[in-house]
Amino acid sequence: MNFFPEISAHRLGNGLLVLTAEIHSLPILSHQVHFAAGSRYEKPGITGISHLFEHLMFKGTRRVKPEEFARIIQAHGGTLNAFTTTDNTSYYENLPAEKLELAMDLEADRLANLQLNLETLEPEREVVRSERKLRSVNSPFGLLIEQLSALAYEQHPYRWPVIGWDADLKTLTLEDCREYYRTHYAPNNAVLVVVGDVAAEEVCRLAEKYYGPIPAQPAPHPTITPEKPQRGEKRAVYKKVSQVAAFFAAFHIPGIAHPDLIPLQILCTVLSSGRSSIFFQKFEKPGKAVEAQAEMGSPPFFFMDPGLLQIYALASPGFPLEKLEGEIWDEVEGLRRDLLPTEILLKAKKQVRSAFLQSLQTHFFKGLLAGLYQVRAGDYRHLYQVLSRYESVTAEEVLQAARKYLRPENRTVVSLQPVTQAEHDELGEIE
């Protein structure tokens, strides 16, 4: 447990959980607020509203003008940003330690007093729609990733993209936004994390002062239908203008608190992490693939609910995509058949452990680790198990995970077939 400072936990009367990690090595801090407000909490008709709010939260309050939030933080030597995922929307400020109260004041103000009106909604709606077009419609690989989830999931909200469907973004109303703000941007639906040169008592005092008066709201109860086990491979082919052919595949895997995730992360590392990996040696180095990867995220970014392990490859010009895909599945089958050699397992364990420890050098990542484990797994203390799990995972566990999850009948594949611009125009665009 010594790789991470002790966390002090305190819950305000309105339900806000305050997590503080004191680190006095440098006079800096990271102030973060994590909301249970990702695309998982949406429903058809309002997809993309979580990400839209990431934009709207910078559009001003009764006393802070639009975009002034960022200017104030930057004027005091800080950096800031926000991000939205399937499972959370998070806001953070990295500042000199003496500016803790400033961060608390500003963040609590927009939690309580965000100005929502058509003058702010309409421009941001168009910004997000343009972002979606750039990321998903105009990008052949963005399209494949989006369609992969839509095909792999039949029931669960993970089937739609975090940025939302364009048809929903076009029709979101101001009342939709106000209702989402009321229910999801509430203290009892959030976790406040402060990491750095602070005293836990002072953090709690300021949290009571600034966040304490904000009333709790009835907890949102999204209707989330669990995904049924997939019992047969799914496939789709998309035709789009592209320089290369490619395929993206996904296997259903468990959610963040499941013990099989670390063995699966080891599998991904063996397959595609570094120049000694299977995919580099067998496909990239010989010129069969421009790129080949296996990925599923890493702590604390595992999906809250059962997620996807993705394997994708871009075929080198002149090398058939079907042949490349077949050879990749042959390598995957090898991992389902044989135990990993000891030296390969040890190297993979060192790689994931080193990457994790390197991330922990920043107060920001320490805060993410605590906040996201709390939001996604329900308990920040899961973070203390990561290193020991890396150290204890065995070749037998990796083998059993490969056999359990990397089955052909648990696989969804979408392929990109390059076409000319004329052929693409005849087919029409996917929006």
* Residue matched to tokens 């496939």: 235
CATH superfamily of 234-427: Metalloenzyme, LuxS/M16 peptidase-like (3.30.830.10)
- Fold match between 7-210 and 234-427? yes
Fold of the 7-210 domain: Cytochrome Bc1 Complex; Chain A, domain 1 (3.30.830)
Helices (H), 165-260: 166-171, 174-184, 200-210
Instruction: Give the residue extent of every domain in the chain.
Output: 7-210, 234-427
Count CB-CB contacts under 10 A for residue 117.
12
CA 14 to chain centre: 27
Per-residue pLDDT of the chain (431 residues; tens, 9 = 90+): 467 899 999 999 999 999 999 999 999 999 999 999 999 999 999 999 999 999 999 999 999 999 999 999 999 999 999 999 999 999 999 999 999 999 999 999 999 999 999 999 999 999 999 999 998 888 889 999 999 999 999 999 999 999 999 999 999 999 999 999 999 999 999 999 999 999 999 999 999 999 999 999 998 888 899 999 999 999 999 998 899 999 999 999 999 999 999 999 999 999 999 999 999 999 999 999 999 999 999 999 999 999 999 999 999 999 999 999 999 999 999 999 999 999 999 999 999 999 999 999 999 999 999 999 999 999 999 999 999 999 999 999 999 999 999 999 999 999 999 988 777 777 776 66
Cα-flanking dihedrals φ and ψ of residue 276, to 5°?
-95, 0
